[in-house]
Amino acid sequence: MTQSADKKICILGGGFGGLYTALSLSKLPWLAPHQAEIVLVDQRDRFLFSPLLYELVTEELQTWEIAPPYEELLANTSIRFHQSGVEALDASAHQVALSDGTVLPYDRLVLAMGGETPMDLAPGVADHAIPFRTIEDAYRLKERLRELEASPVEKIRIAVVGGGYSGVELACKLADRLGDRGRIRIVEMATEILKTSSEFNRQAAEKALSECGVWLDLETTVESVSADAIALSYREQVDTIPVELVLWTVGTRAAEATHGFELKRNPRGQIVVEPTLQVSDHSDIFALGDLVDCHDATGQQVPNTAQSAIQQADYAAWNVWAALSERPLLPFKYNHLGEMMTLGTDNATLTGLGLKLDGTLAHVARRLAYLYRMPTLDHQIRVGLNWMGQPLRDLLKT
């Protein structure tokens, strides 16, 4: 692949879908005359391994481990990184306008801009609640926790809205960090937490939350959020509860930057794609990850998870390469590999591939699984060596 390549591949979004597609594309055999230049665009300068974001709250991991810079990850590849937001897509002209004024032409476009947490689902949420999706969110949460820990308040009261994976994992980490000083509650509108999870994982999570002293407000909705309180509705009765902090983990919607794209969408605003991951009515545009409504080759709905995006990335890369190399495209087939959740420091749950684990063993297995899924071998080695050396560093501190 050379800088004078005649085919241009533009990838918008550097999360699991975008970065892993770019890396897979760079490893495929681009032979003359089917050569291409790959450009990866993201508004941030760092990739985020989001399943480990919770470990920043308890300072089990450092930023460099879960959020390495793109320039570092792409250093030994021919992929060009361009840091910018996205302004507009002109599908008829085959070009993308970036927020820094750059216009990128493309022969094939990959949309992998992910999703965002909707903060307009109740009055006061946008002004007073903190989402938990980005590095900036984690930093904002840590700074607020430091303020509260240094304050004279006897109990630190926190409401985590959403009883899905993110809410449960975050509540467990907060309980570990705050100990007896924390008063944490999960607010969930359903009749149980982890509605889509396996019974084994749900029971392990309920046990961990109970042992941490986390209160569950089930069948409860949020009426409003203020600077120091949250109003909750349960069976048509509204109670206003004082809190120091509200964390919002409810829902996902397509990234705002894609709202102006004139592409076919479902009622939730997600872009509709074919099993080949090509956008409906636009064979030169591929899309994957949280952004899309995808049914795979067997007709099953593909969940919007990191696991799905990683699997889709391999197919997206192959199909872009195949399209430019005059080869047949492959329909995506999703393979559910199981579920993993952190339930606090040194505690987790894991199901999949015939295994059911919880506790410390699941914690170790989860870490190893995520180490294997990190984007490059160089980063895997750096992080793995750091993890191996941690017990010795802890011993030397004692």
Could you report the per-residue pLDDT of 93-134, keeping only the tens digit for each?
999 999 999 999 999 999 999 999 999 999 999 999 999 999
110 neighbors 320 (Cβ within 8 angstroms)? yes
- pLDDT for 1: 41
The first and second tokens of residue 171, run together, are 């509540």
- pLDDT for 394: 66
The mean pLDDT value for 181-206 works out to: 95
- pLDDT for 226: 97
Half-sphere exposure of 133 (CA within 13 A, CB side): 20
- pLDDT for 398: 62
Q: How far apart are CA 12 and CA 109, in angstroms?
A: 8
- pLDDT for 393: 65
The first and second tokens of residue 374, run together, are 């990190």
pLDDT over 90 (residue 18): yes
Q: How confident is the model at residue 31 (pLDDT cuts 50, 70, 90)?
A: confident
Residue 180 carries which DSSP code? G
- pLDDT for 34: 75
% of the chain residues with pLDDT over 90: 87
More confident residue, 4 or 331: 331
The domains found in the chain, sorted by start residue, are: 7-43+84-115+253-324 (3.50.50.60), 125-248 (3.50.50.60), 339-397 (no CATH)
pLDDT over 60 (residue 215): yes
Q: How far apart are CA 363 and CA 55, in angstroms?
A: 12
Helix (H, G, I), strand (E, B) or coil at 289: helix
**CA nearest neighbour of 129 among 250, 305, 257, 215:** 250
Q: Could you read off the pLDDT of 336-390 as tens digits, one per residue?
A: 999 999 999 999 999 987 889 999 999 999 999 999 999 999 999 999 999 998 7
Half-sphere exposure of 379 (CA within 13 A, CB side): 24
% of the chain residues with pLDDT over 70: 97
- pLDDT for 233: 97
pLDDT over 70 (residue 5): no
Cis peptide before 118 (omega within 30 of 0): no
- pLDDT for 368: 95
As a whole number of angstroms, the longest Cα–Cα distance in the chain is 70
Q: How far apart are CA 111 and CA 291, in angstroms?
A: 8
- The mean of the pLDDT values for the chain is 94
Q: Could you read off the pLDDT of 233-292 as tens digits, one per residue?
A: 999 999 999 999 999 999 888 888 888 899 999 998 899 999 999 999 999 999 999 999
113 neighbors 252 (Cβ within 8 angstroms)? no
The mean pLDDT value for 81-100 works out to: 96
The first and second tokens of residue 258, run together, are 């894609």
